[in-house]
Structure 1
Amino acid sequence: MCKSRFTQLPIIEMIKEHERGVPTGDVCRKHGVSSATFYKWKAKYGGLHGKT
């Protein structure tokens, strides 16, 4: 299996960016990931950060 380009911290930052109101398509395009991957990460890491 290939090693991921993204560690946990950048994934959480992407999720925070999305929660601030940036559309999913824009976040995915900016970081070069598919929307399916983004939603998989959101399900896995969505609860790991505090609300700021």
Structure 2
Amino acid sequence: MPIKDLCRRHGFSEASYYLWRSKFGGMSVPDAKRLKDLEAENTRLKKLLAEQVFQNDLIKDALQKQW
């Protein structure tokens, strides 16, 4: 069965399939899971960093107004 038909049957685009294949094609299942977990952790840490930078900016602004 052609890739195009498989993708349509399972509800995603052919472009998504090729993107997925280029990203995960040579990986074993545990490697792909580890990559997914690391990407999720990276996203979480970036959000935490952004919150800290925002809070630091608020504190700096408050301190500048006091002096």
TM-score (norm 2): 0.38
Compare the two structures and name the one with the higher helix fraction: 2
Q: Which has the larger radius of gyration?
A: 2
TM-score (norm 1): 0.47
